[in-house]
Structure 1
Amino acid sequence: MKLKLNIWLTLCLFVFSTIFILVVFNITYSSLEEELVLRAKDKLNAVNILKRRLIELHLRDKKQEADHILSNADLHGVNEADLVENLQSISEIKRIELLHEFDPNQVRFVASLDVDSTYYNFLFTSEKRQVRLVFGLQDIQDILLERTGLGVTGESYVVNERHRLMSASLFHPQEYPTNISSPSHGVLSAIGGKEDVTIYTDYRDVGVMGAFRPVDFYGIKMALLTEIDLDELMRPIYSIREKMVIVVGILMAVSLAISVFLGKILSNPIVQLRRVADQLSLGTLPSDIRPSGPVLEMQQITQSMDKLIRSLKQIASFASDIGEGKMESTYVMLSSHDELGKAILQMRDQLVTLNNEKNALELNSKRILIEAQEKDRERISRDLHDGLGALLTTLKLRMEKSGVMDESADIRDLIERTISETRSLARNLMPAVLRDFGLSEALEQLISDIEDSTQIKVLFFNELENSNYKLEKDKQVYIYRVVQEAINNAIKHAQCDEIQLSITVFDDHLALYIKDNGIGFEVGQKDGFTGLGLRNIEERVRLMGGVFYIESEETGTGIEIEIPIS
């Protein structure tokens, strides 16, 4: 049978608590029953002993009283009439018999029961006479009818050797005692000389607890029984049992409620862990879990699971950073045995290596491409200057000699403009001054051409010409192209009238700063930042191993470049 954990826990707790309650109930009830029976036995036994003593004392008193009268009569020679009169003074005496024919050697005193009636006999024998005294059992009946402490059904009675009652029955008061037969266990045992307190069936066939013992007085043999009905005896314990059953029912209901409550408390952390495990099995990282429940081990398991989730989140975050190309992201290993962390770090290192190789390959490819472009520009510039420029100059000289130039001013202006454009195109492709005199002179020439061709003033601060540092040829070309591109962007887009350009040399790097006073743009959104011009600037700065910064406001745009130098 498959049940939920909280139901299993509830059932187990309820079953165990029920067993415990029932065991306690059974032990308590048995103890109470045993204590009640023991007390009842003690009381019945005490009453039975007391009544036997009273009966024996009563018989002894009767014997002593009669013996005293007979002894005085024998001593003083009292006549029979006076003797009978004196004997009649004894209570409960029913009949006096003076026997004249007797054996003087008989036992001086013999007592007996009249089995067909409720009388007992005393037989006194002396040398002079033999006297039989017949007594009734009224005095003994009074002793037996004293029922203090015996409840409603408790009674004491005596039974003769023929198992006939010798005293009145509590339950059959109108029935003559000897008409009632009582061959019960208590009677048989007492007649046999045994005494005990036990449970048996009385003369009514009703279960009783009775104390019994024999009464033997000079030949009078009776069974004395003191009994009480089991139903009355056990009534208090039955009442207690009914109340205890109610209490047990209440306790079981409370136990069920507590079991349900504890089942939920104990199962909730496990159910929570199962849900977390299910989410982990689906590749989902759940939120942090907090230790719950009163069981220390469950709290420790929850804490361990929470640490696992945090670790997986850390690994997932680290892997996400790597996926986004954030190779500088760090990961702290959980321990020296963190195999997953080791694998992630090794993967990161391999990706960094591959990425560096890729970037180096890209940079090298771009460098080769740009160098090829620059060589082509230099070749084209040289061809324009030495070839087309020389031909145009020769054409102009010949036309001047032939007088054509004097006849047509338009032709002269066209040829001069063509020569000027050819030279300008040659300078833009690769200024000869950069190749012949270096970066500083080339920038000075570039600024001069800009100021001549536009209304923009360029403020140039050049620290390079005062330093002893000599830039490599390729870096001079790259820096020239960067400045050229930045100034052209400002002219085209910034709507400015002033540009600041500065080159500052530091111990480990060269700083290049270009600033205009134009309208600016929103960095990252305008085409000016994502356009070809700025991308070309950024690529050349990367090829030089430098860094590129740009900031733009409504008061203008500034570009700052730092290039490492050795």
Structure 2
Amino acid sequence: MQDPASEIAALQAMVHSYIQFFLVIDVLFPVVGVLLAIAIIKFVATLKKLKESDEYLFYTIRGQEEERSRISRELHDTIAQDVRYALSLSERKDAQHHLAEIAQLLKGSLLEVRSLSYNLAPPDITKDDIIENIKDLCAECNGKNGVSVRLSIIDGTDASFLTADEALHLYRIAQEACTNSIKHSKSAEIAVLVRNETAAEEKGLYLFISDDGVGFDTARARTGFTKHYGLKGMQNRAQLIGALLTVRSSRGEGTLVSVFMPNLVQTTI
């Protein structure tokens, strides 16, 4: 028969070993759990990033194809036809009687080429100054299709917190909004307003483009507007830089495009 003291000592050793085992488990289990949770979060984030990247790539490619189609249509419907007609006039026996008309056609074609070139790569966009770029945009658009463009920039408006990419995307959104109004709204005037926040608003840059045109039904014409008026591209640009874009319109009441770019730059004293 085993000595009671030896049996107690053996039981104590067994209990001690179990205590050590469970202590190790208690320490390791949370650590393993945390590491597993981190791994899952990183995996989900990677998948989300990949999905968003693919989606953006898709819309980028589609946007490029739509832009190419638009340029092709403009070249064919305006410049090519005018140049072809001018050429036919120049080949006539009485061409000297049509020199003024030929010159006018060629002058108009040259203006169209300049306009296309400006829309593709405005010469001043490299300045990364959204305020100056908006001024240039409004000056370029003023008078097109008989539309007057009125620009208002509140004194002291600060856009220095914008990165070069943010300034570029905001410019493209404004450019698309103005182009839509000029080509489709049948408006007489476009009003552009650039300002910073008021006392009750979130800090950042606010951009508004409105027209007094025919407007559209945003609820019923969303698909058509997205396809033909570039709304999806504007939304994608806004989403890419973390801006908030809203489009308000109704038939006969014009259209208002609003863009808010938050100022997330932290200032330290």
Instruction: Tell me if TM exceeds 0.5.
Output: yes
Q: Which residue of 1 aligns with 2:53?
A: 361
* 1:512 maps to 2:207: yes
* 1:538 maps to 2:230: no
Aligned partners of 2:117 and 2:45: how far apart in 1?
43
8 Å CA contact 1:501–1:512 kept in 2: the answer is yes
Aligned partners of 1:433 and 1:357: how far apart in 2?
33
Residue 534 of structure 1: CA displacement? 0.5
Aligned partners of 1:437 and 1:561: how far apart in 2?
18
User: Deviations for 1:196-254, whole angstroms, at most 9, x for unmatched residues?
Assistant: xxxxxxxxxxxxxxxxxxxxxxxxxxxxxxxxxxxxxxxxxxxxxxxxxxxxxxxxxxx
* 1:556 maps to 2:254: yes
* 1:547 maps to 2:244: yes
8 Å CA contact 2:129–2:167 kept in 1: the answer is yes
User: Deviations for 1:298-355, whole angstroms, at most 9, x for unmatched residues?
Assistant: xxxxxxxxxxxxxxxxxxxxxxxxxxxxxxxxxxxxxxxxxxxxxxx99x96896366
Larger CA Rg, structure 1 vs 2: 1
Residue 542 of structure 1: CA displacement? 1.0
Instruction: State the AA in 1 paired with 2:260.
Output: E
Q: Which residue of 1 aligns with 2:162?
A: 471
- 3-state secondary structure, aligned to 2:53: helix
Q: Which residue of 1 aligns with 2:225?
A: 529
The count of residues paired between Structure 1 and Structure 2 equals 193
- 3-state secondary structure, aligned to 1:489: helix
Question: Which structure 1 residue ranges, 5 or more long, are not aligned?
Answer: 1-344, 378-404
User: Deviations for 1:42-88, whole angstroms, at most 9, x for unmatched residues?
Assistant: xxxxxxxxxxxxxxxxxxxxxxxxxxxxxxxxxxxxxxxxxxxxxxx
Residues 455-494 of structure 1 correspond to what in structure 2 (within 5 A)? 455-463=146-154, 466-467=157-158, 469=160, 471-494=162-185
Instruction: State the AA in 1 paired with 2:236.
Output: E
Equivalent position to 1:428, from 104, 107, 119: 119
8 Å CA contact 1:546–1:563 kept in 2: the answer is yes
TM-score by length of structure 1 reads 0.29
Aligned partners of 1:424 and 1:521: how far apart in 2?
27
8 Å CA contact 1:363–1:542 kept in 2: the answer is no
Q: Which residue of 1 aligns with 2:192?
A: 501
State the percentage of identical aligned residues. Answer: 25
TM-score by length of structure 2 reads 0.56
Question: Which structure 2 residue ranges, 5 or more long, are not aligned?
Answer: 1-36, 69-95
Greater percentage in helix: 2
Residue 489 of structure 1: CA displacement? 2.0
CA RMSD of aligned residues (A): 4.1
Aligned partners of 1:500 and 1:462: how far apart in 2?
11
Instruction: State the AA in 2 paired with 1:550.
Output: V
Residue 453 of structure 1: CA displacement? 1.9
Aligned partners of 2:180 and 2:113: how far apart in 1?
23
Residue 427 of structure 1: CA displacement? 0.8
- 3-state secondary structure, aligned to 2:170: helix
Residues 251-400 of structure 1 correspond to what in structure 2 (within 5 A)? 353=45, 356-362=48-54, 365=57
Residue 483 of structure 1: CA displacement? 0.9
Aligned partners of 1:472 and 1:364: how far apart in 2?
20
8 Å CA contact 1:464–1:503 kept in 2: the answer is no
8 Å CA contact 2:249–2:255 kept in 1: the answer is yes
- 3-state secondary structure, aligned to 2:124: helix
Aligned partners of 1:547 and 1:431: how far apart in 2?
24
